[in-house]
């Protein structure tokens, strides 16, 4: 089961620091009890808490208590998702934060893709409350190598009533995964029609519009945001290029660290380098703890060797901007991601789109993403 319900039901008991029952949390999402030091992990748009399960388990092994709430409108039908907007998604996060923060201290927050944007917004709304952030594959713009160049026109398309309400972007090969076996399994789950397994098979335009509204708010608040942030991003992200992480690093007001992965796509929390993501997240959070808190965490770790690996790890070496951008993949899968009416899918239209692709790549792409 995607939320490890056996683990969830068996261990959802009492957090050791407060002695409070976790039933309230268990109603909102999977819980992995540990020390009084907590980590709130937020899944992405159209996703599920499953995509954070490996990281949650890794952090729990280091002694952290981890909570992965479900966002409003998710794991149900697309109709239910369309009834919600970014304020509803953030309300889910805020409710989870309030419930969890009553039982843990300090509190770290992380998320993947749109969940990373929600993490930033939570830290902006509650300055000084979040000790540190873990931002995985943060998505401010869809500019990865599998995204159609026509996505540049998304803000315009969303303003056209018949398009903005009826169209959706389909999940496209390679589905954010470089691991082929896992990719096949996730694809089969998405095609099963059950969104509780691997999320939705596509993203409705109205939901994208809602996310863009939240992105604008978050970007505006970055200069004043002082919460330390770890950014983890693949250099070969198929959905959102590493320029997204660089934008945050360049504009955020507080300290930050950028870890670039070389053998993953967008879903880095479940892909081939997930163990590295878990370790570097644990190390970042560990470094932000006081000596007393570090000892407290060690008391709940699965082994003292795990804690030693955090304190004795080699100094982190961050790559330069030129190294991060060098040789970014140029691969793309032109227009497969958009579900178009059959009447327009003809040869002349495809020729036009190829010409547009050339124009967009040379002119519009550099203009739209100049800030990146």
pLDDT at 366: 45
C-alpha 146/C-alpha 132 separation (Å) is 31
CATH of domain 5-342: 3.40.50.1820
- Residues 71-82, mean pLDDT to the nearest whole number: 82
- Residue 334: pLDDT band by 50, 70, 90 thresholds? very low
Query: Lowest-pLDDT range, 20-24, 77-81, 132-136, 195-199?
Result: 195-199
Among 95-109, 123-137, 323-337, the minimum mean pLDDT is found in 323-337
Core vs surface per residue 175-187: b (16+ CB within 10 A) or e: bbbbbeebbeebb
pTM: 0.81
In the structure, what pLDDT confidence band is assigned to residue 193 with cuts at 50, 70 and 90? low
Which is more confident, 302 or 175? 302
Contact 115, 86 (CB under 8 A): no
Distance between CA atoms of residues 168 and 78, nearest Å? 11
**What confidence category does residue 176 fall into, taking pLDDT thresholds of 50, 70 and 90?**
confident
User: Measured between alpha carbons, how far is 95 from 244 in angstroms, rounded to an integer?
Assistant: 27
pLDDT of residue 27: 75
Whether the predicted pLDDT of 145 surpasses 60: yes
Q: Please check the confidence at residue 189 and state whether its pLDDT lies above 70.
A: no
How high is the mean pLDDT of the chain?
A: 80
Q: Which of 88-92, 282-286, 361-365 has the lowest mean pLDDT?
A: 361-365
Confidence check: pLDDT of 102 > 80 = yes
Looking at residue 161, its pLDDT comes to 64
Share of the chain above pLDDT 70, in %: 71
Cα–Cα distances in angstroms (integers) from residue 179 to residues 26, 34, 95, in the given order = 31, 30, 34
- Which residues contact residue 45 at a Cβ distance below 8 angstroms, ignoring those fewer than 6 apart? 89, 113, 114, 115, 203, 207, 211
pLDDT higher than 70, residue 370: no
* Over residues 160-178, mean pLDDT: 69
| pLDDT, position 270 | 93
Whether 192 shows a pLDDT value over 70: the answer reads: no
Strongest mean pLDDT among 136-140, 188-192, 201-205, 237-241: 136-140
> Residue 224: is its pLDDT beyond 90?
yes
- Name the percent of the chain lying above pLDDT 90: 50
Report the DSSP pairing between strands 168-170 and 202-204.
antiparallel
pLDDT band at 79 (very low <50, low <70, confident <90, very high): confident
Question: Which DSSP letter does residue 315 get?
Answer: P
Residue 223 has pLDDT above 70, yes or no: yes
Question: Where in the chain are the domains?
Answer: 5-342
**Residue 156 confidence class, pLDDT cut points 50, 70, 90:** low
Asked if 72 and 88 count as a contact pair (C-beta separation under 8 A), the reply is yes
Residue 103 CA to residue 289 CA, distance in Å, equals 17
């Amino acid at each position: 089961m995607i939320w490890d319900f056996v683990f969830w039901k068996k261990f959802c008991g009492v957090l050791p620091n407060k002695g409070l029952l976790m039933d309230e949390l268990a109603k909102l999402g999977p819980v992995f009890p540990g020390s009084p030091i907590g980590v709130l992990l937020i899944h992405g748009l159209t996703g599920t808490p499953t995509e954070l399960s490996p990281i949650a388990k890794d952090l729990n092994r280091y002694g952290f208590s981890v909570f992965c709430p479900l966002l409003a409108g998710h794991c149900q039908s697309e109709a239910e998702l369309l009834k919600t907007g970014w304020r509803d998604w953030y309300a889910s996060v805020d409710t989870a934060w309030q419930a969890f923060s009553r039982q843990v201290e300090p509190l770290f927050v992380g998320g993947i893709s749109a969940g990373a944007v929600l993490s930033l917004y939570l830290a902006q709304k509650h300055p000084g409350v979040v000790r540190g952030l873990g931002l995985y594959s943060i998505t401010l713009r869809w500019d990865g190598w599998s995204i159609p160049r026509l996505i540049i026109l998304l803000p315009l398309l969303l303003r056209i009533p018949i398009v903005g309400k009826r169209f959706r972007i389909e999940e496209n090969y390679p589905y954010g995964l470089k691991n082929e076996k896992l990719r096949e399994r996730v694809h089969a789950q998405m095609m099963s029609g059950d969104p509780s397994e691997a999320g939705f098979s596509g993203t409705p335009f109205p939901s994208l519009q809602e996310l863009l509204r939240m992105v604008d708010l978050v970007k505006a608040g970055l200069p004043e945001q002082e919460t330390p942030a770890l950014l983890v991003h693949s250099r070969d992200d198929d959905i959102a290029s590493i320029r997204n992480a660089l934008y945050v690093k360049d504009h955020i007001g507080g300290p930050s660290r950028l870890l670039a992965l070389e053998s993953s796509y967008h879903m880095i929390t479940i892909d081939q380098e997930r163990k590295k993501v878990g370790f570097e997240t644990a190390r970042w959070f560990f470094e932000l703890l006081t000596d007393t808190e570090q000892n407290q965490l060690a008391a709940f770790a699965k082994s003292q060797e795990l804690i030693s690996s955090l304190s004795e790890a080699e100094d982190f070496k961050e790559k330069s901007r030129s190294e991060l951008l060098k040789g970014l993949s140029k691969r793309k899968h032109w227009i497969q991601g958009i579900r178009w009416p059959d009447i327009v899918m003809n040869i002349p239209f495809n020729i036009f789109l190829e010409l547009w692709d050339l124009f967009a790549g040379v002119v519009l792409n550099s203009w739209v993403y100049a800030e990146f």
